[in-house]
Amino acid sequence: MDGPALDSTHRYEPGEAGWTPLLLLHGTGGDENDLLPLGRMVAPGAPLLSPRGKVLEGGMPRFFSRLAEGVFDEAEVAARADELADFIEAARDRYGLASPVALGFSNGANIAAAILYRRPRVLAGAILIRAMVTLEAAPREPLDGRPVLVLSGASDPLIPAENAGRLADALERAGGRVSHRTLPAGHGLTQGDVATARDFLAAEFPN
């Protein structure tokens, strides 16, 4: 298939007509294959676009580096978010895709949130599983009603509840239609995340 060159290692799986594409963004140590099963569980007919993070931490792929647990270089987060937004635009041209919904877990959810802060028009919406604030400044562009689901874990040892709440509030103030749910979970994915994400997509992006 002809089209622009894509500079990120990724997987693309075509879907069925009428389904909104999903952009799958793995957590630390994952890769482009990691969330494909999750994508199929929550949206069986959706086209799936799944890039691998370009940053390595102890040999484990991430979408941006960190200075310490929960401590980020905001300039680098912003640059990586813009780089991934450029990849999304190129992939849309390459594969003939509509704007995708980002489905991110942990580090992947954080880079998706950073894209919503900086380049929201490349996304149709987002599901942010175990996300936290990585950019302290307010989102620089309006979200214009894009639906966003933030899924927190009640016993998550890595992300304080108030931090996830601040993220949801910032996205709502920027014009997103934000639903923030706290599930009986830790930091890992659960069946509750799968079911809640599936219901969100069915309601907001019916095929």
Contact criterion met (CB below 8 Å) for 78 and 71: no
| pLDDT for position 3 | 44
Active site residues: 106, 156, 187
| pLDDT for position 72 | 86
83-103: average pLDDT = 97
The percent of residues above 90 in pLDDT, for the chain, comes to 90
Residue 4: which pLDDT band, with cuts at 50, 70 and 90?
Answer: very low
Contact criterion met (CB below 8 Å) for 63 and 55: yes
* Tens of pLDDT, residues 177-194: 999 999 999 999 999 999
pTM of the model as a whole? 0.95
3-state helix, strand, coil in the chain (%, to 5): 35, 20, 45
Identify the structural domains of the chain with CATH numbers, from first to last. 10-204 (3.40.50.1820)
176: left (phi over 0), alpha (psi -120 to 50) or beta: beta
Contact criterion met (CB below 8 Å) for 91 and 128: no
Closest by Cα among 108, 102, 154, 157 to 131: 108
Residue 59: which pLDDT band, with cuts at 50, 70 and 90?
Answer: very high
| pLDDT for position 5 | 56
